[in-house]
Amino acid sequence: MLRKQISALPPWLLTALTLALILWLTLSPDPLGDDAPRLFPGADKVVHALMFGFLTVMMLLDRQRRRGWKVLPPVAVWCAALLSASVGIAIEFAQRAMEMGRGFEVADMAADAAGACICAVMWLLLQRRWTKP
């Protein structure tokens, strides 16, 4: 039932919505304002990993829907992870160029890449559970 509903969406929608949200969260000077939760030190790296891992999953989900829910080959999965990590790197350089109070951090780029790679591995291990033979 859920597969049918997801399949009815435009094939690019999940990726586009996720990317728009990430761009807003990472390029706005203070996207959450005073409502930003106070977390533990280094929590922003976890958030980066989650954001770019989620972007990787949405790219893979959109791709798999276009392929009729067939298993994606490993090269396609790793290309999505590489693209997601590249977006994270580009955002860091954009933050530096915009000079709007957002910091350029190599550690953020590493967290972006780690999240993308972890989700790619999980996708490769689990995708046979929901794909068509």
16-20, 26-30, 125-129 — which one is most confidently predicted on average? 16-20
Give the span between the Cα atoms of 83 and 127, in whole angstroms: 19
The tens digit of pLDDT for each residue in 105-126 reads 899 999 999 999 999 999 999 9
Whole-angstrom CA distances from 105 to 44, 46, 56, 77, 109 are 11, 14, 21, 26, 7
Q: Following CA atoms 19, 3, 131, 53 in sequence, which dihedral angle do they give, to the nearest 10 degrees?
A: 20
